[in-house]
Amino acid sequence: MNRKLLSLGLALALALALSIAPALADNVKLTVGATPVPHAEILNFVVPLLAEQGIDLVVTEFTDYVLPNLALESGDLDANYFQHRPYLDDFNANNGTHLVPLTDVHYEPMGIYPGKVNSLDELADGAEVAVPNDTTNEARALLLLEAEGLIKLPEDVGLTVTVKDIVENPKGLKITELEAAQIPRALPDFDIAVINGNYALDAGLNAAADALASEAKDSLAADTFANALVVKEGSETNEAILKLAEILHHEELRRFIEETYEGAVVPKF
């Protein structure tokens, strides 16, 4: 189904079905940062619903993982929606920011995508592999490669593992660390690449349909790496933000996510 038509139909249904607290007495502007797919699409789906509650939701799009957190810390954003909690924890620790997750919304399975080869069985010795270079997503990518029997990591490995920690690499894979947003564009230059769900979607890839392997929906990763609505510390009781969090857990939004992304984005509510 055409994504825009589906969004419109479900938004109308949600507008009729939604029953939440009374609208704010005065119109409030709420600026939320998000990566384009699926986060900005999900937020845009609820724009008219928040308008009925006296909230003008402005969605500001970012194409990386750093700027939306810096903008939230500086007060240029009221909230952001693009990241999982391990990434947020690592970002706070490394940047001295004071950002907190408010509620989990969805999970995006990370996948191994074909570049120069069409199956993992075709990987030759010395094959070239791209993985994200930020701490938590690199660890997540390496855990997925290990789950597919391509490498071995130390026992009880945490979310800070890097390529330097690999203990067995029987094929001698050449693993290159790249900024996560760059990997889909670089995919043709590698035999395989491990890509975050949002960047895969933005590039027209779907973990359920196109990946050679992806994280299981019932895996630890599905809970650990759920994407959250994030605010700056002290804003957890902001009435407009709480209304947004409530709408982001509505059953009609679940239906929108499931029908629009067909398994590439999984609701966590």
Q: Is the pLDDT of residue 25 over 80?
A: no
Higher pLDDT residue, 242 or 216? 242
What is the location of CATH 3.40.190.10 in the chain? 3-108+225-267, 111-215
User: What value does the mean pLDDT of the chain take?
Assistant: 91
CATH superfamily of 3-108+225-267: Periplasmic binding protein-like II (3.40.190.10)
Q: Of the given ranges (14-28, 65-79, 171-185, 206-220), which has the lowest mean pLDDT? A: 14-28
Q: Where are the alpha helices (DSSP H) in the chain?
A: 3-17, 41-51, 67-74, 85-95, 135-147, 183-186, 197-202, 220-224, 239-247, 251-261
Q: What is the pLDDT of residues 157-181, one digit of tens each?
A: 878 899 999 999 999 999 999 999 9
Q: How confident is the model at residue 136, as a pLDDT?
A: 87
111-215 is classed CATH 3.40.190.10: yes
* pLDDT of 20 above 50: no
- Length, in residues, of the chain: 269
Per-residue pLDDT, averaged over 125-140, amounts to: 95
pLDDT at 45: 97
Would the pLDDT of 239 be above 80? yes
Say which amino acid occupies 191: D
Q: What is the pLDDT of residue 158?
A: 78
Mean pLDDT across 10-38? 71
- Is 106's pLDDT higher than 50? yes
Helix, strand, or coil here: 130?
A: strand
pLDDT, residue 2, reads 47
| Least confident range of 7-21, 146-160, 175-189, 224-238 | 7-21
Closest CA to 183 of 108, 106, 260, 128: 128
- DSSP class of residue 18 equals -
Q: What is the pLDDT of residue 23?
A: 67
Give the C-alpha separation, 197 to 131, whole Å: 13
- pTM, whole model, 2 decimals? 0.79
Predicted pLDDT of residue 21: 52
The CA R_g of the chain, rounded to the nearest whole Å, is 19
User: What SS3 state is found at 39?
Assistant: helix
Q: Which residues of 55-76 are buried (b: 16+ CB within 10 A; e: fewer)?
A: bebebbebeebeebbbbbbeee
Edge-to-edge strand ranges of the sheet holding 111-114: 174-178, 128-132, 192-195, 111-114, 213-214
- DSSP one-letter code for 240: H
126 CB burial (10 A radius; 0-12, 13-18, 19+): exposed
8 A C-beta contact, residue 37 and residue 197: no
Structure token pair of residue 160: 């800070």
Count of C-beta atoms within a 10 Å radius of residue 43: 26
